[in-house]
Homo-oligomer: A and B are copies of this chain.
Amino acid sequence: MNLRDLTYFDALATLKNYTAVAQRFHVSQPTITYAIKRLEIELDTQLLLRDRSHRQIELTTNGQQFEQHVALILHELKLARTEITASRQQKVKFGLPPIIGTYYFPKLAQRLAQHGLISHLNTLEAGSSTLLQQLRTGEVDLALLGSTTPLTDQLIAAEILYQQPFKIIVSPEHPLAQAGKVAFTQLANENFVTLKEGFVHPAALRQLAQPAGFTPNVVYTTPDISVLKSMVAENIGIGFLTALAISPADNVIALELADVKPPQFLISLAYRKNQVQSALQQKLITQLQQPLKA
């Protein structure tokens, strides 16, 4: 069996047209016919129904079954190629979600710089869910990911590096400004300004709102944390944010959540379990795993 034939079959499963597949790969149409025929002979089963009257091709059950595996095989092959190509440059493709990049990563950067590792990073900014997917496809080799629960995944190893509670932030003029802590249920009648950020903040908010039994009244949503903070400072609403991203200079008051189990913002280091790690990547992981000095 031939990988090229599998590629043709895979394309045919999507395009459902021999001629189109031939053009896509810049080969003649009989090439595709013969490729499929070879597969059908080798597997001793019909993979496609050529319905000439409806001018359409359909996959048989076996064809669908086979296509499942073919898609996986081709994905794996692509991943292999990507990894090997990437290993040629002394670079690690490093995924960093914006919040972590802004508020957590700088604390690590100095140590990485000392070990001469920074210049080998090829940093990609994206949301945590996107990055998880990109780890799988090999677009990213190593990533810091934000989440509210520990990440478990069959293909991706992840270990928690750091965690911070989520907090409520309010304007200094807000009635709750002196309260120090609040239970989420107390906030049923408040207006919220929220972050449009990936899936972590919304997920944490849902995690709180569900047992509290109300849907927060969101008056404004922004992807930008400093915008969020200034909206809160001007008392347009109250905010919900990782403690990590709150600093004394922000002109907002942070309130602890008094609920039984307030959600935590977890930062994990993640990579493909089955990737054979380059010396560079290993050094990087070791450094990132070192606990931060308080």
Chain A 55-83 near chain B by CB (<8 Å), digits 1 or 0: 00000011011101110110011011101
Q: Measured between alpha carbons, how far is A116 from B45 in the docked complex, in Å?
A: 26
Closest to A88 in B: B45
Select A72's contact among B62, B66, B76, beta carbons within 8 Å: B76
Q: Is the CB of A77 within 8 A of B275?
A: no
Q: Are A276 and B76 in contact (CB under 8 A)?
A: no
In whole angstroms, how far apart are the Cα atoms of A278 and B61 in the complex? 7
Q: Is the CB of A276 within 8 A of B3?
A: no
Contacts A3-B1, A62-B87: A68 and B276 contacting too (C-beta < 8 A)? yes
* A69 CB contact (under 8 Å) in B3, B77, B153: B77
The interface residues of chain B lying within 8 Å CB-to-CB of A65 are: 80, 83-84, 87, 275-276
- Measured as residues with beta carbon below 8 angstroms from the partner, the interface class of chain A is 20 to 34
Query: A44: which B residues are within 8 A, CB to CB?
Result: 88
Rounded to whole angstroms, the CA-CA distance of A125 and B76 in the bound complex is 33
- Give the CA-CA distance A46 to B276 in the complex, in Å: 15
C-alpha gap A77/B68 in the complex (Å): 11
Interface residue ranges of A89-148 to B (CB < 8 Å): none
Query: Are A76 and B77 within 8 A (Cβ)?
Result: no
A15 at the interface (CB under 8 A from B): no
Please tell me if A274 contacts chain B, counting CB pairs below 8 Å. yes
- Which residues of A266-289 have CB atoms within 8 Å of chain B's CB atoms? 274-276, 278
